[in-house]
Structure 1
Amino acid sequence: MKFLFNIHRLKILFISLIITLLSACTEIKKSEPVIYLIPEGYVGSLYIIFNAPNGLPPKYEGESRVYEIPPSGVLVTQMNANEGWIESSKTQYFFVNDTGDRTPMNEDSASTELNTTNSNAETTRTVYVGGLGQSGPIYGCTVINQNFTIGTDSEQIDSKNLLDIYDAIKLRNIDEKLFDNMCQQVVK
């Protein structure tokens, strides 16, 4: 009888564990929809640096965050990182010309429908999303950043187009003042 009682307790414990794990999975934070505006013809590494008190203020179109990437390829913003899960349909990438006209871009050329000659992969610039991470020290602070590369398949693997965040800040002359007071803002 004691043996059956222990099996019953194990079943209850197992079911409780499964329910706990499943309920933890349903509490995944959703990210806000996002629009990325990238200068037309841009090729190479892009960075968005978050939580910079002197960075650009938040910008929205409806419910979507707007990240307007400057020609330097490094956007320093006051916004917090957009952490969490997001549906791919809620993320939009655009090339923007000098008059503000937007041309939609695809994320990753592997997802682009190619014609029968496979030439689109070599001529169509796409976005390869690297992800969210921390880098530092940058002017004495650890920064939260998101990185991307833009280009055709061959441009995205050409080392002259790929800069790490340190080189991007240095070579693109990103103003050090944008990083003032940032160390106090770093999430630990």
Structure 2
Amino acid sequence: MILKVNLIQLFFKTYFLKALLVGFITALLPACTEVKESEPTIYLIPEGYVGSLYIVFNAPNGQPPKYEGNSRVYHIPPSGVLVTQMDANEGWIASDKIQFFSVSINGNRKPISEVSKSTPDNKRAVYFAGLGYSGPVYGCKVLNQNFIVGVKEERINEDILLTIHEAVKLKNIDKKLFEGTC
């Protein structure tokens, strides 16, 4: 009789623990699987620009947010370094929601493709190098997105690829844009 009672108690304890575990996992699953979706994005790159491009985020004195419809617009200046007040556009995004354009002096846009395995070596394309912190830039580590633009030979030419620190220094980017980023 004692054995039977112990078995019943063990069964209920095991059942209760399994039910508790399943409930806990079920409650946490949506938090683990929810992925933030990024806003559609348009990158406007100066016509003929070759080399590293940087977008520096969360700079109080940077360019104010720009939108076309529901798409963020990053209008890269001729220096190749855009300093913006916007937060980074982190999260998942479908490739058709990202557009790169070469922009002429009179504002005409010509699409530029993103680098893929099938991109011919002689085709001007954009390589997305990443999002992260770099620096120091005027004493701060800055959150930035880095791209490389050009034909394959230009995209791998270390003589024209600049770090953000080098780009800011060589292109004389105004220190005032970075005030308040630290």
TM norm. shorter chain > 0.5: yes
Which is worse superposed, 172-181 or 63-72? 172-181
Q: Which residue of 2 aligns with 1:59?
A: 66
* Secondary structure of 2:121's aligned partner: helix
1:39 aligns with 2:52: no
Report the alpha carbon displacement of residue 142 of structure 1 after superposing the two structures with TM. Answer: 2.2
Give 1:75-94 correspondences, 5 Å limit: 75-94=82-101
- Residues in 1 aligned to 2:168 and 2:140: alpha-carbon distance in whole angstroms: 14
Cα pair 1:109 1:153 within 8 Å, conserved: no
Cα pair 2:44 2:101 within 8 Å, conserved: yes
- Deviation sequence 1:85-104 (CA, Å, 0-9, x none): 22211111111111211111
**For residue 89 of structure 1, what is the amino acid of its counterpart?**
D
Q: Which residue of 2 aligns with 1:174?
A: 173
Give 1:5-154 correspondences, 5 Å limit: 5-110=12-117, 112=119, 121-154=120-153
Report the alpha carbon displacement of residue 5 of structure 1 after superposing the two structures with TM. Answer: 3.1
Question: What runs of 5+ residues in structure 2 fail to find an aligned partner?
Answer: 1-6
- Residues in 2 aligned to 1:22 and 1:73: alpha-carbon distance in whole angstroms: 42
Q: How many residues align?
A: 175
- Residues in 2 aligned to 1:87 and 1:13: alpha-carbon distance in whole angstroms: 37
- Residues in 1 aligned to 2:155 and 2:20: alpha-carbon distance in whole angstroms: 51
Which is worse superposed, 23-32 or 163-172? 23-32
Q: Residues 111, 14 of structure 1: CA spacing in aligned structure 2 closer, same or farther, 3 A cutoff?
A: farther
Q: Residues 174, 13 of structure 1: CA spacing in aligned structure 2 closer, same or farther, 3 A cutoff?
A: same
Q: Which residue of 2 aligns with 1:115?
A: none
- Residues in 2 aligned to 1:13 and 1:154: alpha-carbon distance in whole angstroms: 59
Report the alpha carbon displacement of residue 14 of structure 1 after superposing the two structures with TM. Answer: 4.0
Report the alpha carbon displacement of residue 45 of structure 1 after superposing the two structures with TM. Answer: 0.7
- Residues in 2 aligned to 1:71 and 1:111: alpha-carbon distance in whole angstroms: 29
Percent identity reads 61
**For residue 53 of structure 1, what is the amino acid of its counterpart?**
P
* Secondary structure of 1:145's aligned partner: strand
* Bigger Cα Rg: 2
- Residues in 2 aligned to 1:18 and 1:149: alpha-carbon distance in whole angstroms: 43
Cα pair 2:135 2:164 within 8 Å, conserved: no
Q: Which residue of 2 aligns with 1:116?
A: none
